[in-house]
């Protein structure tokens, strides 16, 4: 697989495929010509990356999803029309690579219409924000406690689970995590009369 951490790909006049596995599924923030369910082998979706901006703070880091080694991941492949690639890629690069906690890679995907190659953001295991494989109880506690510029970690998890379910590609590990988070959250206080 090609590693392209340092710079965005140069516009080459062709359409570009991008693989989405987390918030890009439910909040892409860009126009796309096509979206296809896709399977990536060799990586799995995991809450393995500390977020100190979007879903947490330096004082109370949150966790976000990353593609980590092993297993498989179902998500969406977005096709970006050639004329929109430069602006879209600049947006994606700023959003996903601002602190270089991901590596941009070319990823081979399987789709119902045949194989494609897409750009995707894989967690950089050498980055200080890489959390590794955490105990589910610790992940749940972190998700319950953290919020950042884009809102609470819990909303991030809920939106991802909901959108994957809506697409017909539920993730049983994320469902189990959401159940654990909901069980560990204290019930809301009743209103004062």
Rounded to the nearest 5°, which phi and psi values hold at 131?
-95, -20
d(CA 116, CA 111): 7
SS (H, E, C) 52-102: CCCCCCCCCCEEEEEEEEEEEEEEEEEEECHHHHHHHHHHHHHHHHCCCCE
- Is 31 a catalytic site residue? no
d(CA 24, CA 65): 11
Angstrom CA distances, 66 to 46, 58, 186, stand at 6, 19, 28
- Contact present, 67 and 120 (Cβ < 8 Å): yes
Among candidate residues 59, 96, 103, 110, the one labeled active-site is 96
- Contact present, 180 and 134 (Cβ < 8 Å): no
CA 66 to chain centre: 6
Residue 133: both structure tokens together: 């494989």
* Residues taking part in catalysis: 96
């Amino acid at each position: 697989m090609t590693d392209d951490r340092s710079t965005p790909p140069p516009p080459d006049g062709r359409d570009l495929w991008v693989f989405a596995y987390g918030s890009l599924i439910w909040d892409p923030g860009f126009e796309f010509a096509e979206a296809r369910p896709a399977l990536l082998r060799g990586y799995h979706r995991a809450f393995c990356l500390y977020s100190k901006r979007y879903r947490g703070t330096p004082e109370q880091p949150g966790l976000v999803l990353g593609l980590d080694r092993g297993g498989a991941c179902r998500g969406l492949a977005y096709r970006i029309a050639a004329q929109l690639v430069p602006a879209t890629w600049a947006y994606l690069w700023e959003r996903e690579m601002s602190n270089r906690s991901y590596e941009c890679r070319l990823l081979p995907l399987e789709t119902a219409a045949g194989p494609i190659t897409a750009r995707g953001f894989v967690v950089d295991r050498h980055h200080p924000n890489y959390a590794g494989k955490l105990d589910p109880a610790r992940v749940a506690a972190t998700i319950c406690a953290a919020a950042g510029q884009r809102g609470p970690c819990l909303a991030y998890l809920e939106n991802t689970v909901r959108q994957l379910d809506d697409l017909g590609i539920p993730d049983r590990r994320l469902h189990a995590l959401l159940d654990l988070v909901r069980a560990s959250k204290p019930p809301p206080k009743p209103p004062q009369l």
